[in-house]
A and B are shown apart, each in its own frame.
Chain A
Amino acid sequence: MTEAGKSGEIVRYSYATRVNHWIVAICFILLALSGLALFHPALFWLTQLFGGGPWTRILHPFVGIVWAIAFVLLAAKVWRDNFLNSTDRQWLGHIREVLDNRDDGLPVGKYNAGQKLLFWLIVLCLLGLVATGLCMWRAYFALPVDIVRIASMLHAAFATVLICAIVVHIYAAIWVKGSVRAMTRGTVSDGWAWKHHRLWFRDVTRGQQK
């Protein structure tokens, strides 16, 4: 990570990573909408977005596969930065200050402990959703009905956890100003990096200054 951005900014995500992220995000939205349409009768009208009930049923698992592959590619890029370490304990100990916008000077690497935990939660949900989703996919798989029953229940449970996790993820992007441009333009301001990810800021700026 030594790309030099314009002065005052730091490169956080490459073009390829940004495209990858938005494929994951769009697939997720489509999955959540089509899945929720079948999850609760009050949301069945969402099938209209996909061309009706049968199309919703047909499309959902295919989008799921694209999502899973895209996520694995994204995860391959970022998983190393998501190992928990001793500074994360400190961050978690100061979670109140973080929530109150008073998190000055906490040592944070490329990702904070909250982001890391969310990452692993999503990985867990991905594995669960793919495994249970394939069991439910009657067009191509025929498993014993007892397995399909448990898979159906767990699929809804994993989906609920994942949707909640992504709501948190999206809210964090809205709350912490200056984050979204990391995934749109690919860069963040020096001040943003210094304030929220100081260890990472030092890491990427060391040795490249003029």
Chain B
Amino acid sequence: MSLQSLDIIRRSATTTPSPQARGAHAGEVAKLIDVSKCIGCKACQVACMEWNDLRDEVGSCTGSYTNPPDLSSESWTLMRFAEYENPDSGNLEWLIRKDGCMHCADPGCLKACPSPGAIVQYANGIVDFHEENCIGCGYCITGCPFNVPRISKKDSKAYKCTLCSDRVAVGLEPACVKTCPTGAIVFGSKDDMKQHAAERIEDLKSRGFEHAGLYDPAGVGGTHVMYVLHHADKPELYSDLPANPTISAAVGVWKGIAKPLGLLAMAATAAFGFLHYLRRGPSEVDKADEEAARRELENTP
């Protein structure tokens, strides 16, 4: 997809400003997933398949409701089911989390991508892959702190949740939001979603979930997909949702200081050679050397 009515604020592997005359003056968008309201019906998974015309391979049961077993190039969202025995209450809790792209404000995928315009971030905060520019290197997977992008085995392009950028661009909510029967997934401006989350958290606290809270991790600048968690103090309980996701330091160096430093080192080495030549000139073998060599040859036995 190209610009449409969504303007781009960041573009992978691009050093000049992206077109941004049209801002997101209504504010950035966000999807809020209230884990406490989710019943695990997977209607959102189906809606995602329908809207995006995705049909993953029919696999086999791996002993869990999580099905397919992992995100893939044809499964952009996935309900992950975790069974948790709460030591405090003695209850068995079924913690269900809708996994997929978090639409980070500071996206590691975009930072890592070497291909200009294969990953963009719209002014409204959505991070989108433009597969026609994708070269299939997989650097986005290396960059993502949430293990989200997947390379297709068919076309070697990277895919992930688009937050239904095509629907949002024309004023619709994402397909998963549209379909959710319990209202566990809501969509709107990020500010509104935070406010809604605050109300939900207050309610959960009043019901004894004292650690209820919002998941909007600061390490990636906040996300445009947020969770309300009953155990916000232990996000790992929800199928290993990272507590403090950040772009890894190695990726930071590789995609940060290494780039200018590397080119500088190469240019400096070449410049050193050039300047040395200008100053000292070539090291030549002259007649005297050939003479000396011949004299020595004549004198060797």
Contact B114 A41 (CB under 8 A): yes
Within 8 A of B (CB), among A45-71: 47, 52-54, 56-58
B273 partner, pick from A52, A157, A167, A202, beta carbons under 8 A: A167
| Chain A facing B: main interface SS | helix
Query: In the complex, what's the smallest C-beta–C-beta distance from A4 to chain B, in angstroms?
Result: 12
Taking CB as reference atom, which chain A residue is nearest B118? Answer: A53
Query: In the complex, what's the smallest C-beta–C-beta distance from A60 to chain B, in angstroms?
Result: 9
Q: Which of B19-27, B44-52, B56-64, B257-265 contacts A (4 or more CB under 8 A)?
A: B257-265
Interface residue total, chain B, C-beta cutoff 8 A: 53
Q: Report chain B residues within 8 Å CB of A192.
A: 285, 289
Q: Which of B96-104, B191-199, B203-211, B248-256 contacts A (4 or more CB under 8 A)?
A: B248-256
Q: Report chain B residues within 8 Å CB of A159.
A: 262
Query: In the complex, what's the smallest C-beta–C-beta distance from B290 to chain A, in angstroms?
Result: 3
Contact B269 A168 (CB under 8 A): yes
Q: Report chain A residues within 8 Å CB of B261.
A: 160
With a 10 A CB-CB cut-off, give which of A103, A136, A164, A193 has the most chain B CB atoms.
Answer: A164
Known: A44-B116, A160-B262, A194-B293. A57 touches B273 (CB 8 A): no
Q: Report chain A residues within 8 Å CB of B286.
A: 191
Confirm or deny: A77 has a beta carbon within 8 angstroms of a beta carbon on chain B: no
Contact B254 A156 (CB under 8 A): yes
Confirm or deny: A76 has a beta carbon within 8 angstroms of a beta carbon on chain B: no
Confirm or deny: B276 has a beta carbon within 8 angstroms of a beta carbon on chain A: yes
Interface residue total, chain A, C-beta cutoff 8 A: 57
Confirm or deny: A150 has a beta carbon within 8 angstroms of a beta carbon on chain B: yes
C-alpha gap A195/B294 in the complex (Å): 12
Confirm or deny: A86 has a beta carbon within 8 angstroms of a beta carbon on chain B: no
Contact A156 B251 (CB under 8 A): no
Contact A175 B283 (CB under 8 A): yes
Contact B289 A41 (CB under 8 A): no
Q: A52-B135, A167-B273 are in contact. List 14 more A-B contacts (CB 8 A).
A: A40-B262, A54-B135, A58-B136, A99-B276, A103-B283, A138-B141, A139-B156, A149-B254, A153-B258, A156-B254, A177-B282, A178-B284, A189-B290, A189-B293
Would you mind naming 23 contact pairs between A and B with Cβ atoms under 8 Å apart? A38-B135, A40-B263, A41-B116, A44-B13, A101-B281, A152-B251, A153-B250, A153-B253, A157-B262, A160-B258, A167-B270, A171-B276, A175-B277, A176-B282, A178-B284, A189-B293, A190-B290, A191-B292, A192-B289, A195-B289, A205-B296, A206-B300, A209-B300
Which 5 pairs from chain A and chain B are nearest by CB? A53-B135, A191-B290, A171-B273, A194-B293, A191-B289
Residues of A near any B CB (own CB < 8 A): 8, 37-42, 44, 47, 52-54, 56-58, 99-101, 103, 136, 138-139, 145-146, 148-150, 152-153, 156-157, 159-160, 163-164, 167-168, 171, 174-178, 189-196, 201-202, 205-207, 209
